[in-house]
Structure 1
Amino acid sequence: KLATLLHDAGKGRLSDHHPIGAKLFKAYTQKIGLSPEDIELGSKLVLYHNRLSQTAQKEDIYSPLIVAQFTALFPSKLELDMLLLLTYADTTGVGSNIYNEFTARLFKGLHKNALDFLDNREFLNETHKRLERIEKLKSSARFKELPKILQTKIINIESNIPFIRYKTAKIIEIATEAKEIKNYKYKLANKNFLTIEIIKKSRINMGYLLSKLRNLNLANMDIIKLFDDKKYFKIDFNQKVEKDLLQEIGAVIEEAFLPDTVTQTQKPQIAKEDIIINCTHGIQYAQMKLTTKDQKGLLAHVMNVFEKLDIDIVSAKLFTRKDRTDDLFLVEKNGNFCDNEEFIKEQLV
């Protein structure tokens, strides 16, 4: 409670308020006779009170390296639980639109991954987690009801993303719907925030779709290669839209499948130093970070460039604060990406 009350006590000074707040917390709690253990824990929570929210919104919370670095700061369940509570109190206090179903899912996801990492250091290994999810799939009654050929296709999906991020029921739902798709199918959900799900075999102009939706705040996007040349797209926005907009969004999605659809976007201003490419991020995926001025159509531009270069994005996470954006892309490792880092940067700027 004291950490929650005093976590922003260091604000209003020229220096970073986190270490100042931690010092003030320590001085105050020593005066009122808190135990040394509680003082140490409380001052750490104040010092790092933004760490969970920043990591969850700006980093890949399924990366073993990211989770290991995060857990190194909070190496116990007690610390992780208290940090989650403090993060909830802090973000809900900032404004009603900051803590929502989407950010809650990110915060709880990082918290869960950190706890799992404490219990089993191999848990977040991509291969290990994939195999664990496949075993759960095989034991599922719903999975056993599927045709054998579809079971095999699900297990042989190359991407680790569905096995790492999605629950068993969701994987089965996606695969079952994909089996019946001839061209494309999409669904819109708008309960607490807008989510677009697309399963397609036909070509889609994602640059066009994203450019048309550029006035909405996109938060996350997953792109998964399924089977039979079909792909699954899940696009999350961090806001709910008015009901009358849903029909317009549906029309834009359908336009994106038209063969003569042309993307018209203004090229955003990006500097080479805004782009960091890491091809050692994971076994299957490379990572690209883009930290630059927030500009409408930024993601549409990236998608257009990558599509022209035949580069497959599997996930995009966008975090915007004030006039800056921190975008994180997971990209399939192949010769088109990791062997052409400088050329890719030149095409983006």
Structure 2
Amino acid sequence: MQKQSLVLSAPSDALKKALLRLNGHNFGAYFSKEIDRVVKDAFKACKKDFFDTYEPSDDEVPLCALALSNYALSEIGFGCNISLVLCYKDIRGYNARDFAIALEESLSTISSNFKVHILEISRLFNTLRHDIELKSKFCTMRYICASKRLYKEAKAELARVKEQGKDEFIKYHINELKPYDDVLLLSQKPDLKSGYGGFFDYERALMLLNLEGSAKENALKFISEKEYSEFVLASEFLSSCMSALRISGGNDSIESAFLEPASKILRIKEKRELDVRVLLVAKALTSMQRIAVYSRYLLKANFALFFKSKLSFAKLRGAKASGDFYLIDNTIFTPLHAKPKTLISVLKSVNALSDEPFKFHIESILYFKHISVAKYDSSELLAFKKIFYRKHSFWILKALLDGEQLFGLIKPMEHTRHLAQFDNYKFSVDEYSLMCIYHLENIQDSNVGRLYDELSAENKALLKIVALMHEVAKSQGKTSATHGLQGANIFRSYASKLELSQTSTALGVTLIKNHSLMNKAIKGEINAQNTLNLISHIGSVEALKMLYILTYSIVNATNDGFYSSTMASTLRELYEGALAGFKSTSDESLGEGRARAKKENLIKKNSAFLELSAEQKSRILSIISNLFFIKYKASGIINIALWAMECANISVKISSDEGLSVEMIVRRGWNVSMVLSKLSKLDLEYMEIFELFENKFFVKLKYAKSVESAKFASLESGIITALCDKGEASVSRPVILPNEVSCELGDEYAKININAKDSRGFMAYILACFERFSLRLANARIQTIKNRTRNLYLIEKDSSFERNFALFKEYITKDEKCVE
């Protein structure tokens, strides 16, 4: 009994090996046989104990052990309650009740999961007739061991029980499986046992189908062998999945901590670069969706009288809406006998329906599913495109999704079906994308609603197509940093099949490529740099308006409660700031932003970038300086950014090819002017300062004179010492005329231009003056040609900038020696 106890009560190696060997299939049947063996052995031990050398045959003992519920279906999982009944006949001389009690005690010592009912055969009918829950357990019953003669008597009594109050019993369980006018969306954290589409739904359906004849025979009256096989295999996978999760330390719900070990037990392998956890959830959700659809359809089909409409025959005929569709109580019904002819005929019937937010009853979902399509041609795609022009397209698209036709019509999305996505998403990629359309058609924010109403019919339809396809690249294992760009390319190809105009295609490409831009921006500080970045990527007011509306739908579809009043206000602030920016931003600034946007796209395609972690990618794309993106190649930007990430405070690199080159990573406040002062004898030709992230700057100095490599170590030490120096650089004051200094004001930054005669220590002097007058440098670009220095400085604006700049200009243009 010790070995048996381990098999049933603890996640033993034997169970793990069985799951691995079965590859996730038929584990319920395997485990049920193991339990059967335990029950049979316990029965034999009790019989030996009671009768010793006078043992009767099994059939002569007036007792039988019968499996109930999911154990009876041979679909029990590890850790589940094991329901069985010890049915006995009260015959003088056998003490059958005492035998049953002894057997129950024996089983309970083996595992606490055994839930044993002890019933005398003559009391079985009265015990079950008025207890629906107990009756439900007994409706699925299987012989395990002991008297087969008594089992036949128990079956006869159970037949009487099933007939007693049969209609009320059927109604009760049909009501438990509501709704039938909608296939519910599946949470990514479902309860695999009792949730919508869970194992209990399968068990309930089979129990009712078994009330009259064979469940399989009754099912095959309305679905094919292939569909029935899908139904059964879905239940087998859920049973195996629950066992794998429990063996891994979890329970019947999807919890991320147990997904990876459960995936190993079920031998789920990576596919399309997708994590095994994602694939396990996808397979579980697919199984639950099939159980949800088939269980409800089979009950609707087999128990049609319990769903009978109260409408008269004349009113039912009048409810015919289009083709095989009938509109009753805001729900589309389809006769069970109706057979769809072609997809194009069904799509035409759909488009002929009134433009209302009606749902589709469960038999309509199977009607869509039974459409046979060898190849989706252009006429079907154009008929499909018309759905997006409807005011209410969500429920039609959802019916096509539930009926497994949607991704035949949008082939690039087929791999998103039940594709899990974590990080606070409520639904898988396909259903989340569909919910984006729901929120477009049910806008609750009056500001967003007004802008949506202003869109043309063509742009409303385009926005729905974009909402549905904006995550299409996730199906190909693309990272968050690149899937927008990849998705845009996929959309461009699909748009030609829908015969979208060039203008609509270009607009759709822009929206998908940048669909996360506003969402990311509102998570940080709303400033001019963010606004410039946004309008540089978007390019037009119409695209900005549509991105604002799209972002609203994306945030709402992500999870309940994400779109708060605070987020609404922040999103609107960003939109209005960008809208104003289109009117006020100079061509030069806009050009910089667009150049940066182009460079970002090149970086996202770079192989070195693709190998980085999500955090590293995010930090690279968050670099503040536009000029840095314009100046450097994609590979150079990546290398410098990674260098900055590795650097805690200071890092210096020196080379001397055609003049000394010094590159530094420094934090704001380190004394760069002192470095320039120390190196002033080498004649500075060129200098760059770019703000990266986390107050870190990249500084590059290029000098005319070379330095021997043997002196690099001492030079580096001297540079670091100078950077750490708290004093002010002592340099000669250069000659700068008032007309050689100018300033352009922006929203967040000011550009200071100095075009003056070069002199030794010029830059050290200017940087020291910036510190003196509290001018915070963000970027600098300095070049010396023909004894003239041309300097561009980007300075952070604050409330005192104009006063400080005036003092700075007056100070540096005075004709006198620099005095402390």
TM-score, normalised relative to structure 2:
0.26
Q: 1:345 aligns to what SS in structure 2?
A: helix
Distance 1:126 1:180, change over 3 A: same
Change (3 A) 1:290 1:123: closer
What does residue 631 of structure 2 align with? 165
Counterpart in the other structure of 2:599: 133
Tell me how far 1:207 sits from its aligned partner: 1.4
Deviation at residue 300 of structure 1 after TM alignment: 0.7
Structure 2 residue aligned with 1:343, among 804, 807, 810?
Answer: 807
Correspondence for 1:312: 777
Which residue in the other structure is 1:265 paired with?
731
| Aligned-partner residue type, residue 795 of structure 2 | E
Q: Which residues in structure 2 correspond to 1:86-105 (within 5 Å)?
A: none
Answer yes or no: is 1:241 the counterpart of 2:736.
Answer: no
Which structure is higher in strand share? 1
Matches of 2:632 and 2:710, distance apart in 1 = 30
**Contact 2:775–2:804 (CA under 8 A) maintained in structure 1:** no
Letter in 2 for 1:242: E
| Contact 2:689/2:779 (8 A) holds in 1 | yes
CA distance change for structure 1 residues 220 and 338 in 2, over 3 Å: closer, same or farther? Answer: farther
| Matching residue of 1:296 | 760
- Give the C-alpha shift of residue 299 in structure 1: 1.3
Contact 1:203 1:257 in 2 (8 A): no
Residue equivalent to 1:278: 743
**Equivalent-residue separation in structure 2 for 1:306 and 1:131 (angstroms):** 30
Displacement of 1:313 in angstroms is 5.3
**Structure index of larger Rg:** 2
**Corresponding residue to 2:790 among 293, 304, 327:** 327
Letter in 1 for 2:738: K
Deviation string, structure 1 residues 211-264 (Cα, Å, up to 9, x no partner):
111111212211121122211111122343333443342122111232444422
Distance in 1 separating the partners of 2:762 and 2:729: 13
What amino acid sits opposite 1:301 in the alignment? Y
Query: CA offset at residue 266 of structure 1?
Result: 2.8
Q: Which has the higher contact order (CA 8 A, sep 6+)?
A: 1
CA shift, 1:156, in A, is 1.3
Q: Distance in 1 between matches of 2:621 and 2:589?
A: 19
Find the partner of 2:684 among 185, 195, 218. 218
User: What's the C-alpha RMSD, in Å, of the aligned pairs?
Assistant: 2.8
1:209 to 675, 678, 692: 675
Secondary structure at the counterpart of residue 318 of structure 1: strand
Contact 1:126 1:283 in 2 (8 A): no
Gaps of 5+ in 1: 1-120
Q: 8 Å contact 1:289–1:329 — kept in the other structure?
A: yes
* Count of equivalent residues: 225
1:153 aligned residue: 619
Larger CA deviation: 251-260 vs 294-303: 251-260
Structure-2 separation of matches of 1:278 and 1:339:
13
Task: Report the residue type matching 1:132 in the other structure.
Answer: K
Summarize deviations over 1:140-186 as a string: whole Å, max 9, x none. Answer: 11111111112111111111022101011111111111111112111
Aligned partners of 2:778 and 2:796 also within 8 Å = no
Q: Matches of 1:203 and 1:340 in 2, distance apart? A: 18
CA-to-aligned-CA distance 1:51-110 (integer Å, 9 cap, x gap): xxxxxxxxxxxxxxxxxxxxxxxxxxxxxxxxxxxxxxxxxxxxxxxxxxxxxxxxxxxx
CA pair 270-123 structure 1, distance change in 2 beyond 3 A: closer
Gap change, CA 1:326 and 1:281, over 3 Å in 2: farther
Task: Assess if the C-alpha contact under 8 Å between 1:208 and 1:262 holds in 2.
Answer: yes
1:12 alignment counterpart? none
Name the structure 2 match of 1:196. Answer: 662
Equivalent pair of 1:279/1:338 in contact (CA under 8 Å): no
Unaligned runs of 5+ in 2: 1-586, 814-820
Question: Are residue 254 (structure 1) and residue 725 (structure 2) matched?
Answer: no
Label 1:218 to 1:228 Cα distance change in 2 as closer, same or farther (>3 A). Answer: same
Contact 1:218/1:237 (<8 A) preserved: yes
1:198 is displaced (CA, Å) by 0.6
In 1: Cα distance, 2:717 partner to 2:743 partner: 37
2:610 aligned counterpart, secondary structure:
helix
**Is 1:232 the counterpart of 2:695 in the alignment?**
no
Shift of the 213–147 alpha-carbon distance from structure 1 to 2, 3 Å rule, reads: same
Give the percent of matched residue pairs that are identical in Structure 1 and Structure 2.
24
Comparing 214-223 with 127-136, greater Cα deviation is found at 214-223
Provide the rounded CA distance (Å) in 1 between the counterparts of 2:699 and 2:674. 15
Q: Tell me the distance in 2 between the aligned counterparts of 1:202 and 1:160.
A: 18
Contact 1:126 1:164 in 2 (8 A): yes
CA distance in 2, matches of 1:169, 1:255: 31
* Cα displacement (A) at 1:287: 3.6
Query: Greater helix share, 1 or 2?
Result: 2
